[in-house]
């Protein structure tokens, strides 16, 4: 009898015991770095408050903070809408048509999911470089008479374009996967019912598909924005510091300049922007979602 | 809908095929070109009239491996395997708990775990470097794996919980009726049924760790993982070494995905029809 009671008690705390290791581990690997990051960024070695790192960030001629902030937001602001539209079109396409080899086509379309930012940068470097495939193809087709130069600091705008192409190529897949999964969860019965009541395709999209897809859209946008603000590998490979970004400057300050405090400050800035944009997305989409009548 | 004439029907088919081909080409052409360039001879690459190289050599990949990429690739594998072991050891029980138990605070705990992942991994790396030097695990695969585990853990918890939720509860109950205890049910019934899905999740964890570059380059100097090694070393090298580097990073991920493609897609909640 006592044994049964004990077993029941164990059953009640068992789930907490199973989850505790994860929470403790995550708590340590998020909590400790956050506290230490604030310490590194705002306090000197004696533990006194200092604005030295902030001053360096904002005022030093060596610091590229303003450019980095500008380019990070610019890349995020261009890449995310482009790949969102692209992924939405792809998801609608694969969800509405049946054809032979469709599964293989979906599989290929999501391949970039497994390709890292560094690898994607190298792949597009081989496409766009002076003797690369794109230039040779256009030259031989007679579209251009001399190679388009994508790289080198004199060609910053082209470098930016190369980064945007690479990022869109690499990360449309994740948005596509989330949206396709969301579309497939919408029951056909809703659409059929709407059709019976005379809703046309546009109305069905506006009043059924989009509202029901909203949670997926929100998830995809949050995930992609978080990653876009940390953009690093592809930029570093394609443009180095010609196009400074926040994560790249954190890397540079830490590994080249040994400014640990400045690197920590960059990390905190990225975290702050990430969290506020995440909160904004959740608010904005929740409002729309409720308004649509669910 | 208007009446579908044969011509219209054929046209429709062609348009659909063309759209699918465009999507596939957009992904495949750059990969194919970079693989071709990784193996093409310099003469073909510099020949402005050879759009697609036709002569090939293994030299560039061999050079890159000799420059240190083989050691870096080995480090990457060690880090990724350690990450899988650690994140599953910690995350699997949590995933099971979320899938099978109803308890107060369940949703809040799940949200907490996912929410902690919203902090960018860049925040993790810089302070850990200082801590690792003190602990003596700076520049070791273990150190990188510990940080990668923090990155992969929320993913493992979420995905394993949805995999376990897919195993019918009735089978577990039957096991209990026939005299197995909780652990026995888990080991003899739930785990075997969940295994394919778990394998896919493990492969995806491998890829996440294999691809990660920021943490790895901050937390190592000599024992770099492959992406970190390439980010620092290969960028100063001639084009061919860069192409070979791209090939080396992409290859394992593609092989793994090819093996696990059916489960990978199912894992993301897509049912192929």
Q: Which residues of chain A have pLDDT under 50?
A: 290-294
Q: Is residue B73 part of a domain?
A: yes
Partner residue facing B246 (CB), from A30, A126, A271: A126
Q: How far does B132 lie from chain A, in Å, by closest CA?
A: 12
Q: What is the pLDDT of residue A9?
A: 80
Interface test with A, best of B246, B249, B254 (most A CBs within 10 A): B246
At B4 the pLDDT is: 61
For residues B152 and B223, membership in a common domain is answered with yes
pLDDT at A1: 56
Same-domain pairing of B32 and B144: no
Q: A240: helix, coil or strand?
A: coil
Same domain membership, residue B245 and residue B162: yes
Q: What is the pLDDT of residue A294?
A: 39
Cβ B29 vs Cβ A122: under 8 Å: no
Closest residue, chain B, to A38 (C-alpha): B127
Residue of B nearest to A41 (CA): B127
Query: How far apart (Å, rounded) are the C-alpha atoms in residues A252 and A258?
Result: 8
| Residue A49 CA, distance from chain mean position | 34
Question: Looking at the structure, do residues B23 and B114 belong to the same domain, yes or no?
Answer: no
| Chain B residues with CB-CB distance to A268 below 8 A | 123
* B112 falls within a domain: yes
Contact B231 A118 (CB under 8 A): yes
Which pLDDT does position A293 carry in this prediction? 42
Q: Does B125 touch chain A (CB under 8 A)?
A: yes
Q: With an 8 Å Cβ cutoff, are B93 and A226 in contact?
A: no
Reported as a single tens digit per residue, the pLDDT across B199-233 is: 888 988 999 999 999 999 999 999 999 999 999 88
Question: What is the extent of the structural domain holding B174?
Answer: 61-268
- CB spacing of B271 vs A184 below 8 angstroms: yes
* Of residues B261 and B226, more confidently modeled: B226
Q: Is residue B55 part of a domain?
A: no
> Does residue B242 share a domain with residue B188?
yes
In a domain, B127, yes or no: yes
Tokens in use for A170? 């690499």
B1 within domain boundaries: no
Separation between Cα atoms, residue B26 and residue A150, nearest integer Å: 19
For B249, the closest of A119, A178, A240 (CB atoms) is: A119
* CA-based nearest distance B235→chain A, Å: 7
Q: Reduce the secondary structure of B80-148 to three states and give it as a string.
A: HHHHHHHHHHHHHHHHHHHHHCCCCCHHHHHHHHHHHCCCCHHHHHHHHHHHHHHHCCCCCHHHHHHHH
Distance CA A209, CA A207 (A): 6
Domain identity same for B27 and B74: no
Contact residues on chain A for B106, CB-CB shorter than 8 A: 15
Residues of A in contact with B212 (CB under 8 A): 116
Q: A264 touching B, CB under 8 A?
A: yes
Residues B81 and B104 in one domain: yes
Assess whether B30 and B162 both reside in one domain.
Answer: no
CATH number at residue B112: 1.10.3720.10
CA distances from B219 to A73, A231, B138 (A): 27, 18, 6
- pLDDT band for position B1 (cuts 50, 70, 90): very low
Give the number of domains in chain B.
Answer: 2
- The answer to whether residue B51 is domain-embedded is no
Q: What does the pLDDT read at residue B212?
A: 95
Tell me what pLDDT residue A2 has: 64
Interchain contact, A99 vs B17, CB within 8 Å:
yes
Say yes or no: B26 and B118 in one domain: no
Euclidean distance between CA atoms A252 and A63, whole angstroms: 10
Residues of B in contact with A114 (CB under 8 A): 207, 211, 253-254, 256-257
- The reply to whether B191 falls in a domain is yes
Q: How far is CA B78 from CA A117, A280, B32, B139, B145, in A?
A: 21, 39, 28, 13, 8
Q: How far is B7 from chain A, CA to nearest CA, in Å?
A: 17
The verdict on A215 touching B (C-beta cutoff 8 Å) is no
- B183-222 as b/e, with b when 16 or more CB fall inside 10 Å? eebbeebbeebbeebbebbbbbbbbbbbbbbbbbbbbbee
What is the mean pLDDT of the segment spanning B73-86?
97
- What global pTM score does this model have? 0.90
Q: Which residues of B touch A14 (CB under 8 A)?
A: 97, 101, 182
Q: B247: nearest CA in chain A?
A: A119
Q: What is the model's pLDDT at position B181? A: 87
Is residue B69's pLDDT more than 90?
yes
CA–CA min distance B257, chain A (Å): 8
Cα–Cα distance between A248 and A233 in angstroms, integer?
8
Q: What mean pLDDT is reported for chain A?
A: 90
In this complex, is the C-beta atom of B124 within 8 Å of any C-beta atom belonging to chain A?
A: yes
Tell me, yes or no, whether B147 lies in a domain: yes
What local confidence, expressed as pLDDT, does residue B269 receive? 57
Answer yes or no: do A22 and B94 touch at CB < 8 A.
Answer: yes
Do B149 and B200 lie in a common domain? yes
User: Is residue B193 domain-shared with residue B156, that is, in the same domain?
Assistant: yes
Question: Which pLDDT band holds residue B162 (cuts at 50, 70, 90)?
Answer: confident
Residues B146 and B38 in one domain: no
* B207 token code pair: 């890829």
Average pLDDT of chain B, as a whole number: 89
**C-alpha–C-alpha distance, residues B89 and A172, integer Å:** 32
pLDDT in tens, B22-60: 999 999 999 999 999 999 998 888 888 888 888 899 999
- The C-alpha of B163 sits at a distance from chain A's nearest C-alpha, in angstroms, of 16
Q: Given its phi and psi angles, is residue B238 left (phi above 0), alpha (psi -120 to 50 degrees) or beta?
A: beta
Give the separation between CA B257 and CA B205, rounded to whole angstroms: 12
Task: Confirm if B109 and A23 have CB atoms less than 8 A apart.
Answer: yes
């Amino acid at each position: 009898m006592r044994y049964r009671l004990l077993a029941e008690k164990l059953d009640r705390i068992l789930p907490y015991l199973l989850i505790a290791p994860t929470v403790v581990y995550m708590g340590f690997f998020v909590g400790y770095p956050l506290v230490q990051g604030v310490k590194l960024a705002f306090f000197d070695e004696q533990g006194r408050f200092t604005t030295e790192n902030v001053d360096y960030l904002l005022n030093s001629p060596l610091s590229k903070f303003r450019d980095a902030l500008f380019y990070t937001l610019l890349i995020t602001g261009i890449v995310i809408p482009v790949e969102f539209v692209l992924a939405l079109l792809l998801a609608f396409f694969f969800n509405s048509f049946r054809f032979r080899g469709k599964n293989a086509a979906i599989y290929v379309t999501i391949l970039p999911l497994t390709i890292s930012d560094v690898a994607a940068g190298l792949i597009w470097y081989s496409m766009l470089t002076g003797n690369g495939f794109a230039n040779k193809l256009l030259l031989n087709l007679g579209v251009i008479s001399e190679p388009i130069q994508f790289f080198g600091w004199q060609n910053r705008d082209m470098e930016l374009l190369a980064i945007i192409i690479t990022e869109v190529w690499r990360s449309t897949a994740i948005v596509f996967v989330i949206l396709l999964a969301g579309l497939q969860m919408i029951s056909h019965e809703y659409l059929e019912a709407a059709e019976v009541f005379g809703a046309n395709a546009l109305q069905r999209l506006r009043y059924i598909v989009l509202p029901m897809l909203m949670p997926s859209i929100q998830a995809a946008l949050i995930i992609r924005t978080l990653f876009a603000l940390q953009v690093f590998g592809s930029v570093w490979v394609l443009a180095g510091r010609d196009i400074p970004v926040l994560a790249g400057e954190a890397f540079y300050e830490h590994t080249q300049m040994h400014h640990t405090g400045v690197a920590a400050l960059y990390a905190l800035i990225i975290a702050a922007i990430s969290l506020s944009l995440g909160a904004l997305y959740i608010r904005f989409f929740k409002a729309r979602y409720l308004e649509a009548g669910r | 809908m208007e009446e579908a004439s044969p011509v219209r029907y054929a046209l429709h088919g062609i348009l659909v095929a063309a759209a699918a081909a465009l999507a596939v080409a957009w992904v495949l052409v750059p990969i194919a070109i970079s693989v071709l360039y990784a193996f093409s001879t310099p003469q073909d690459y510099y020949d402005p009239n050879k759009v697609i190289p036709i002569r090939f050599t293994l030299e560039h990949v061999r050079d890159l491996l000799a420059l240190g990429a083989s050691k870096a690739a080995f480090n990457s594998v060690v880090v990724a395997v350690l990450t899988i072991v650690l994140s599953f050891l910690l995350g699997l029980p949590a995933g099971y708990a979320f899938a099978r138990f109803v308890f107060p605070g369940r949703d809040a705990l799940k949200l907490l775990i996912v929410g902690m992942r919203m902090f960018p991994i860049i925040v993790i790396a810089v302070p850990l470097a200082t801590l690792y030097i003190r602990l003596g695990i700076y520049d070791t695969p273990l150190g990188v794996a510990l940080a990668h585990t923090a990155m992969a853990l929320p993913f493992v918890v979420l995905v394993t919980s949805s995999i376990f939720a897919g195993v019918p509860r009735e089978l577990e109950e039957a096991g209990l009726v026939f005299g197995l205890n909780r652990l026995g049910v888990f080991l003899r019934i739930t785990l075997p049924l969940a295994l394919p899905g778990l394998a896919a999740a493990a492969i995806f964890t491998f890829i996440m760790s294999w691809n990660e570059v920021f943490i790895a380059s901050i937390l190592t100097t000599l024992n770099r993982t492959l992406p970190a090694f390439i980010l620092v070393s290969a960028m100063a090298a001639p084009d061919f070494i860069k192409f070979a580097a791209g090939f080396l990073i992409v290859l394992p991920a593609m092989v793994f995905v090819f093996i696990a493609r059916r489960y990978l897609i199912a894992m993301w909640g897509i049912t192929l029809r």
